[in-house]
Amino acid sequence: MAKVKPAPLPPDTMIGGYRVLRKVAAGGFGVVYLAVDSTGQQVAIKEYLPASLTTRVPGALAPEVPPEKLSLYRLGLKSFFEEGRSLAQISHPSVVSVMNFFRENETVYMVMNYLEGASLQDFIVTARDLKQAKVFRESTIRSLFDEILRGLRIVHQHKMLHLDIKPANIFITDDNKSVLIDFGAAREVLSKEGNFIRPMYTPGFAAPEMYRRDAAMGPWTDIYAIGACIYACMQGYPPNEAPQRLEKDRITIALRRLKGVYSDNLIEVVEWCMSLDPLSRPQSVFLLQKELSREGERRYTKLTAVEKVRLQFDTMVTDNKKNGQKATAVSGRAK
């Protein structure tokens, strides 16, 4: 029962005064186009077009929604607005900015600044394939996340959480700026409505509380994801999923393997961010920033011979597992 995906708008279609150049991405929520405005400036336009609820024949403008799916379609629209609302309040170089929002073709569109570059995910995969001890240099990791944390701090100041931070949602522009993108899961946490919708999550980067319905999510939930992203930058693959960690936690062992390669301080920061207990993590981005930007001599602890042998043995045992995880590094977000 392969459902045909709704067709994207063809190049040169005019929407809201913008001219579509081409489709650049498609996700569960819709399609992102590269377009130009009347002055020739490039923009990214996200079209609300949930693939599971709509159909559109090639060449048509308005998507069709079967009557029985209309209520879910409208419900999804609320999340789309939620993303727009979140982004509209924030103006920061490290957070993707929304420039306009309009209704046309019986759906809605969000206009954002167009970023040229690649995601951190792409960089990790490329770097990992070089098969060196370090995936990224420590100074690179520190400055990259310093920028991201500046943006995230503003997000949290607006009483919002990103809730889907992962390397695929950290964009590195061609002029070397890192930008937090895709606020599709973001919601204002302090204004609870009558019913909840669980945010989508990505295994490996989602904190344990994202898997529970009752759990209090807060800045510490995004901070877990930041820790997991730093981990991915060091290891080249994502950490184990939180539920798996609750059963048997291998993170400490995995990080011990990096001793001597990365400084003790960076390894400790990752462990701190990724504490299973939300209260044991840095409770604010500010605290984490302070720790991450700490200047001074970095201490590297070399492993003893016995530890090295033990780790090598562990590696042999867990090698298959690791390969399995690499596969998940490129898979998308779970729904």
Name 84's Cβ contacts closer than 8 Å, sequence gap at least 6: 98, 101, 110
Subset of 163-202 contacting other proteins (CB under 8 A): 192-196
In the complex, the smallest distance separating the C-beta of residue 72 from other proteins, rounded to whole angstroms, is 6
Integer Cα distance of 258 and 313 in angstroms: 15
Among 22, 64, 91, 159, binds other proteins (CB under 8 A): 91
CB atoms within 10 A of CB 102: 13
Decide if 176 contacts 170 (C-beta within 8 A). Answer: no
**Which region, judged by CB under 8 A, interacts with other proteins, from 118-126, 208-216, 251-259, 267-275?**
208-216
103 binds other proteins (CB under 8 A): yes
**Which region, judged by CB under 8 A, interacts with other proteins, from 75-83, 129-137, 223-231, 297-305?**
75-83
DSSP state letter for 59: T
**Which region, judged by CB under 8 A, interacts with other proteins, from 32-40, 70-78, 140-148, 160-168?**
70-78
290 binds other proteins (CB under 8 A): no
Size of the site for other proteins (CB under 8 A): 38
Containing 42, the helix (H) or strand (E) segment is strand 42-48
Decide if 233 contacts 265 (C-beta within 8 A). Answer: no
In the complex, the smallest distance separating the C-beta of residue 209 from other proteins, rounded to whole angstroms, is 10
β-sheet with 30-36: strand ranges across: 14-15, 18-26, 30-36, 42-48, 107-113, 98-104
Two tokens at 125?
């995969």
Among 99, 189, 261, 303, binds other proteins (CB under 8 A): 99
Among 75, 216, 253, 309, binds other proteins (CB under 8 A): 75
101 binds other proteins (CB under 8 A): yes
Decide if 29 contacts 35 (C-beta within 8 A). Answer: no
71 binds other proteins (CB under 8 A): yes
Subset of 148-167 contacting other proteins (CB under 8 A): none
Q: Write down how long the chain is.
A: 335
In the complex, the smallest distance separating the C-beta of residue 297 from other proteins, rounded to whole angstroms, is 39
